[in-house]
Amino acid sequence: MVIRPPRQQTAFWKKQYGGLDTSHVSRLVKTFQGMGDGMIVCPKPTAINDFQETCDGGSISFENDWRVARSKIFDLLKKVYGSFHNRIDGRASPEYSRLTETTKQFLELLCRKMPGDFLVIPLKSGFFWEKNLEARHVRMQYGQNEFGICTFLAGCILSSHSNPTVGDNQIHLECSGEEWNLHGMSDFSDVPYFHSDGDGLHLDCHWAYDVFNGFIPTSCLIPSEFSRSVS
């Protein structure tokens, strides 16, 4: 899919969350111009939550905050597309899904360091990646300032790029920054992906060692002014 200009994405989110601060978006877009082959502009998970879940005696967990925001984006997808088949519906707790450690650390870093209520993240997809790579191989090829896209970020892209006439083979978006364990075996070896067919938009998963024809990996880049090494 072709990534829409940042201005169009920002306009979409202003309609959804008019009270959020977008004052920094234009500056960041200009700063990151030329990185990757597109940009995500979307609200921070921490900005769209009405509350923050807590754990461990009251300490705030970023991944819990991300999980609540992901649920809200899934609800938005139902509204935008009309038909959204969510494999993880009813199984969104940590025992079934989680961010990879790299994606968790980088995403939390960006939420903390970027000003305002929005994330601006360069994307690496299309001609940057080979087609038909196993998700585990994609993860091994990340650069130092790169992380896999998750279902929250992918859901934000699909929400702001909606096409009400979604048809067969129009959407193939793999989320290698997230791990699923839908069968309760504690191995987290499944990778979620979005795809479309004549029945609408779907969120499903496949084994990280499988190769699916047509799926092009998509990753996110950390601009140097926000980067740090992740062990």
Return the HEC string of 134-170.
Answer: CHHHHHHCCCCCEEECCHHHHHHHHHHCCCCCCCCCC
- Across residues 82-106, what is the average pLDDT? 89
Q: Tell me whether strands 200-207 and 84-86 are parallel, antiparallel or unpaired.
A: parallel
Q: Are 193 and 173 in contact (CB under 8 A)?
A: yes
| The pLDDT of residue 69 is above 80 | yes
Local structure of 92: helix, strand or coil = coil
Q: Are 228 and 110 in contact (CB under 8 A)?
A: no
- Check residue 153 and give its pLDDT: 96
Element (H, E) at 229: none
Which residue did the predictor score with more confidence, 139 or 148? 148
Torsion of CA 139, 210, 92, 20, to 10 degrees: 50
Q: Are 41 and 13 in contact (CB under 8 A)?
A: yes
- Check residue 58 and give its pLDDT: 38
| The pLDDT of residue 22 is above 70 | yes
- Across residues 37-46, what is the average pLDDT? 92
For residue 215, what pLDDT band results from cuts at 50, 70 and 90? Answer: low
- Check residue 212 and give its pLDDT: 57
| The pLDDT of residue 136 is above 60 | no
- Across residues 32-40, what is the average pLDDT? 88
Which residue did the predictor score with more confidence, 131 or 91? 91
- Check residue 59 and give its pLDDT: 40
Full-model pTM: 0.86
To the nearest whole number, what is the mean pLDDT of the chain?
81
- Check residue 14 and give its pLDDT: 93
State the Cα–Cα distance between residues 29 and 83, nearest whole angstrom: 32
- Across residues 78-94, what is the average pLDDT? 88
What's the token pair of residue 77?
A: 């997808």
| The pLDDT of residue 137 is above 80 | no
State the Cα–Cα distance between residues 9 and 61, nearest whole angstrom: 28
Domain borders along the chain are 6-15+22-226
Contacts of 99 (CB under 8 A, 6+ apart): 63, 66, 107, 150, 177, 178, 179
The vertex-170 CA angle with 169 and 172, nearest 5°, equals: 75
What's the token pair of residue 26?
A: 């234009």
| The pLDDT of residue 168 is above 70 | no
State the Cα–Cα distance between residues 66 and 5, nearest whole angstrom: 25
State the Cα–Cα distance between residues 108 and 53, nearest whole angstrom: 15
For residue 217, what pLDDT band results from cuts at 50, 70 and 90? Answer: low
Torsion of CA 176, 179, 183, 184, to 10 degrees: 170
- Check residue 227 and give its pLDDT: 66
